[in-house]
Amino acid sequence: MCRFPICFLLIGGLCGAQGGSDSQPASSNVRGAEYPRVSSDLRVTFRIKAPQARQVRLQPGGDDNGLGKGPMDMMRGADGVWTVTTPPAVPGFHYYWFLVDGLAVGDPGSETYFGWGKESSGVEVPEKGTDFYAVKDVPHGEVRTRWYYAKTTATWRRAMVYTPPEYDRNARARYPVLYLQHGAGEDERGWTNQGRANFILDNLIAEGRAKPMIVVMEQGYATLLGPVQGSATQGRGTGQSVVFEQVVLNDLIPMIDATYRTRADRDHRAMAGLSMGGGQTLQITLTHLDKFSWIGSFSSPLRTGFDLKTAYNGAFADAAAFTRRVHLLWFGAGTAEERMLKPALAMSEALQQAGIRNVFYQSPGTAHEWQTWRRDLHEFAPLLFQ
């Protein structure tokens, strides 16, 4: 590929920037792309050249996207370049795409982030006074792509495995493990690409605030493709979440414990997830307390009015026994996502009243987006394995 117009990118970088005099290209852009740009007051300016289009709009991903309500009309310039500047945005990571004559298209200036079931554009809006998810001058762990064969699904699957900075230097040390799941429409890359989980952990470990740990991120989807084997479907159907649970228990955890220097017992095994992944976490951990003792639910779609006695196979029925066994039960939600916040608060309070200790964290001003979940991880991880 020697025909790449590198000169175009370089020239594009030197002229034409219009996103406010103090604006900067978003850190989520591809190398050299000048748009989107973020101003110091957190307005975001988007741009796309579409000379033949009749209408171009900016579509933030979802109703509670921190860019504001969409779609937003973009204005056509004389050169066929369409632009829009949003109101000041909520800090964090926001999915978006353009609607060009009604067709949803990605922004060639943006990196892609798997969300909404496709490779989506995304824009990073910095939060002033906060750098807990920045790449800093501290020792860095690795994120390792690990392929493994899952008997449950009869397929090769890909896990992303964070190992802490010291992992390769302490060749005899063993580490606790956090299994960390993404939301619906996302995949095993979300927690690092969008969530910056590796930098959050690097920074917490460098500050001595979190124990060095392994973090395993897998795709929360699984279907039975090959011949049904073992206990995968015994009496519980073949739905995605049931099959995923079997993958975690029968394939993923044994593979991780056989491949990495883990502390392979329930006292050193945590699971957390966001949205769909939080629901999967509660289902898997609470019905398998022999395997897990640290539990995190971030912005999960919980039902109100659940029955303490029967929920999750009766895990909460004996409060004293639960409290003895479970080291941490942790809930989080953003204050701007009432739909997730209220049922989670109700569940947390019902548990407290029943004598089941739990922690609740409210992320100020953020909705059903990655800034909430970055903060969740930043609050949750220091409590683990202590």
Chain residues in the site for a second copy (CB under 8 A): 1-6, 9, 30-32, 50-53, 62, 100-106, 108-112, 114-119, 135, 137, 140, 142-149, 156, 161, 168, 171, 183-187, 192, 198, 219, 221, 240, 259-260, 275-276, 301, 368
Q: Considering beta carbons, is residue 16 or 108 the nearer one to a second copy?
A: 108
Q: Considering beta carbons, is residue 86 or 198 the nearer one to a second copy?
A: 198
Minimum CB separation from a second copy for residue 223, in Å?
A: 9
Q: Considering beta carbons, is residue 304 or 353 the nearer one to a second copy?
A: 304
Q: Is the peptide bond before 36 cis (omega within 30 degrees of 0)?
A: yes
- As given in the structure block, the two tokens for residue 170 are 């302490």
The span from the CA of 85 to the CA of 68, in Å, is 11
- As given in the structure block, the two tokens for residue 380 are 């949750």
Minimum CB separation from a second copy for residue 146, in Å?
A: 6
Minimum CB separation from a second copy for residue 170, in Å?
A: 11
Strands 359-363 and 72-73: unpaired
| End-to-end CA gap in the chain | 51
Minimum CB separation from a second copy for residue 31, in Å?
A: 7
Long-range CB contacts (within 8 A, 24+) of 28-33: 28/93, 28/110, 28/111, 28/113, 28/122, 28/123, 28/124, 29/109, 29/110, 29/111, 30/108, 30/109, 30/110, 30/111, 33/9, 33/108, 33/109, 33/110
Give the closest residue to 212 by CA, choosing from 273, 278, 142, 135. Answer: 142
- CA 180 and chain centroid, separation: 8
Minimum CB separation from a second copy for residue 379, in Å?
A: 20
Minimum CB separation from a second copy for residue 86, in Å?
A: 21
Q: Considering beta carbons, is residue 116 or 361 the nearer one to a second copy?
A: 116
Half-sphere exposure for 274 (CA within 13 Å, toward CB):
27
Q: How many CB atoms lie within 10 A of CB 293?
A: 20
Q: Considering beta carbons, is residue 19 or 122 the nearer one to a second copy?
A: 122
> DSSP assignment, residue 248?
I
Q: Considering beta carbons, is residue 1 or 320 the nearer one to a second copy?
A: 1
Minimum CB separation from a second copy for residue 35, in Å?
A: 13
Give the closest residue to 55 by CA, choosing from 115, 2, 85, 98. Answer: 98
Minimum CB separation from a second copy for residue 342, in Å?
A: 14
Minimum CB separation from a second copy for residue 225, in Å?
A: 12
Q: Considering beta carbons, is residue 104 or 317 the nearer one to a second copy?
A: 104
Q: Considering beta carbons, is residue 52 or 386 the nearer one to a second copy?
A: 52
Q: Considering beta carbons, is residue 32 or 355 the nearer one to a second copy?
A: 32
The span from the CA of 306 to the CA of 284, in Å, is 17
> Are 162 and 197 in contact, with CB atoms under 8 Å apart?
yes
Q: What share of the chain is helix, strand, coil (3-state, %, to 5)?
A: 25, 25, 50
Cα distances (Å, whole numbers) of residue 381 to 56, 202, 332: 42, 11, 13
> What single letter denotes the amino acid at residue 322?
F
Q: Considering beta carbons, is residue 117 or 254 the nearer one to a second copy?
A: 117
Minimum CB separation from a second copy for residue 306, in Å?
A: 17
